[in-house]
Amino acid sequence: MPHVAHPAFLVLGAFATYLVASYGIDPLLAGLMLMPVFFVFGVAVYQFYYATFESRGTDQGLRGIAFFFGIAFIVQVGLILAFGVDQRLVDASYIGSSVEFGEMRVPQRMLVAFGVALALTTTLALYLSRTFTGRAIKAVAQDEGALRLMGANPVRIKRWAFGIATATCAIAGALLIVIGPVEPGLDRIYIGRTFCVVVLAGLGSMSGTLVAGLILGIAESIVLTTAGTAWAPAVAFSILLLVLGVRPAGLFGR
Amino acid sequence: MKRFLAGAVVVLALAASMPFFFHNEYFFFAAYVVLQFIVLATAWNILGGYAGYVNFGTGAFFAVGAYTAVALYKAFALPLGLQILAGAAASGLLGFGVGMLTLRLRGIFFSIATIAVAIILETVVVNWHYVGGAKGLPTMRPADTPFFASHTVWLFFVMAVIAVIAVGAARYVETSWIGRGLRAIRDNEGAAECSGVPTLRLKLGAATLSGALMGAAGAPYAQYLSFIEPSSAFSLNYAVNALAMPIIGGMGHWIGPVIGAVLLGTVQQVVTVTISSEINVLVVGVLLVVFVVGAPEGILGLARKIRSSRKP
């Protein structure tokens, strides 16, 4: 599904966390609280998408992409209208202090984000491989017809998957605003990073995304320190184009 | 063909005579923008509407045309005509390059690559100090203005010529075997390939032509504003508009993007001046979603439905 609006939902999640956190709640907790809200939102969006596009035939690929692009654009402009173009950040006990590992100092908020991200990815990977619905989600990407014959409803599965994906946007957005300031135009850069990680890992590989994410993170940091901040946004996209040109299946893809 | 040529001559004559009717410079300023969007929408439609490959990076092709023109003007003081040709060539090359990388894969990879190219090129330009980098470059308009009283009117006329050429090219593509091949690709690429349609070559050709026209639209940009800087030249606004106008106007026929561009462009100019420029951007997004959901064939499709429902 051409969900180019995912990074926009991510930024939406970050700003939602900002809103909730401004009432004094810890941002990570806010993210967790927002997850069910975002899940419902995701289900609603998918239901709308399905009713207008997928049920009417498969030549709607272009319209699907255009629809999500429009949604992403509306979300971005909506955020600009609501919050202005300034950057927003949150405050928590672990922001601003760092932990010492021998000679290195690691900012505590990075550790927290890393921990949560790791937990999230592992949970999702386990879910996708161990539970019935999880495996159904992987199956629907491989062969929808066969899945229907196996007794699962592909529409419900896709709706569920979309809901889960949007819910992760909530917690990911919370992590985002914990790591650093957020502003509405961020979704353009994150489109690149998201697609870079997914394509580098190979579509369908959950554990691959961890490796791909690490590779991207390291590459960006190297570029940041050697060439300067102005080149950093291009790193993700350059890797993406490289992978597309050389090995489109990605590192772990089928 | 003859009717089209006649129509083109009439349009250009009309454009040339405009200064006698309108004396407010802003009219030409705004009309330039609308004409520019006609070119961008028509160019987008060649690849997007006819072949079904969505280009999200219109801003990149546009800006490549603009910056090529600026760089060459700064280095060699080229006249406007050569600048436009150079801009078209550069963007055409870009379209070809992106096509070579991604058109062998499924459609969405091409679309993602166009986003990637846009961001990468914007980063490159931001770091390129010869053309001003992030802080931009003020450009001086040439002192003399051929044929017309003011430079704005001259640029307006130039853009009208480019628009006529773009629409003519789109019409030619649409009615020729190229257009049939592209439509076959859009409907079912596998079947098209099996039927002997040279899919890769047609797609590459469409991408190159589309890019070249966008570059041609971008070349006069610096002279138009007397200033150029990356974030507005590469603006996502161009991508959304280039996508929305053909969808709203109708993607199957060359007149669709023209309708969409004129309508949406005028609405945007009016909203920018009366309400605010952020709302203007929101309007485009909302209209895009509304039309994609409700009227996928655009205004042309709606007109067709109205006409066929009136038949006894």
- Domain co-membership, A54 together with A109: yes
Return per-residue pLDDT of chain B as tens, 312 residues. Answer: 777 788 888 888 877 777 777 777 778 888 888 999 999 999 999 988 888 888 888 888 998 888 888 888 878 777 778 888 888 888 999 889 888 878 877 667 788 788 888 888 888 888 777 777 777 777 767 666 666 667 777 788 888 888 889 988 998 888 888 888 888 888 888 888 888 888 888 889 999 999 999 999 888 887 777 777 777 777 777 888 888 888 888 888 888 889 889 988 888 888 877 776 667 778 888 888 888 777 777 788 788 888 887 766
Q: How many domains does chain A have?
A: 2
Which of A159, A184, A209 is the last residue in one of the domains? A184
Mean pLDDT for A115-127 is 79
What is the gyration radius of the CA atoms in chain B, in angstroms? 19
- Domain co-membership, A29 together with A154: yes
The answer to whether the Cβ–Cβ distance between B54 and A241 falls below 8 Å is: no
- Distance from first CA to last CA of chain B, Å, rounded? 33
- Domain co-membership, A212 together with A92: no
Under an 8 Å CB criterion, which residues of A touch B?
Answer: 2, 4, 52, 59-63, 65-67, 69-71, 73-74, 77-78, 80-81, 188-189, 191-192, 195, 199, 230-231, 233-234, 237-238, 240-241, 244-245, 248
Which of A133, A154, A184 is the last residue in one of the domains? A184
Mean pLDDT of all residues belonging to chain A: 75
The answer to whether the Cβ–Cβ distance between B120 and A241 falls below 8 Å is: yes
Which of A184, A211, A230 is the last residue in one of the domains? A184
Indicate whether A1 belongs to any domain.
Answer: no
Judged against a pLDDT cut of 50, whether residue A22 lies above it is answered with yes
- Domain co-membership, A210 together with A246: yes
pLDDT score of A205: 65
Of B245, B235, B203, nearest to B42 by C-alpha is: B245
- Domain co-membership, A231 together with A122: no
- Domain co-membership, A176 together with A240: no
Mean pLDDT for A108-130 is 77
Residue at token pair 């129509």:
B7
Residue A3's region, left for phi above 0, alpha for psi from -120 to 50, else beta, is beta
- Domain co-membership, A176 together with A191: no
Mean pLDDT for A239-245 is 75
pLDDT score of B42: 92
Judged against a pLDDT cut of 60, whether residue A217 lies above it is answered with yes
Q: For residues B261 and B298, give the distance between their C-alpha atoms in angstroms, rounded to a whole number.
A: 12
pLDDT score of A100: 67
pLDDT score of A58: 46
- Domain extent for A205: 185-254
pLDDT in tens, A136-192: 777 777 777 777 787 777 778 888 888 888 888 887 877 777 777 777 777 677 777
Look up residue B165 and give its two tokens. Answer: 């050429």
Any A CB within 8 A of B97 CB: no
For residue B278, give the nearest of A71, A81, A188 by CB distance.
A81
Mean pLDDT for A74-91 is 75
Q: Are B250 and B273 in contact (CB under 8 A)?
A: no
pLDDT band at A95, cuts 50/70/90?
low
pLDDT in tens, B263-310: 888 888 888 777 766 677 788 888 888 887 777 777 887 888 888 877
Cα-based distances in Å from A246 to A121, A203, A210, B48, B100: 27, 15, 21, 25, 12
Q: For residues A80 and B197, give the distance between their C-alpha atoms in angstroms, rounded to a whole number.
A: 46
Question: If residue B31 lies in a helix (H) or strand (E), which one and from where to where?
Answer: helix B25-48
pLDDT score of A167: 82
Amino acid code (one letter) for B158: V
Separation in Å, CA of A115 to nearest CA in chain B:
30
Domain ranges of chain B: 2-235
B279 contacts in chain A (CB < 8 Å): 81
pLDDT in tens, B177-188: 888 888 888 888
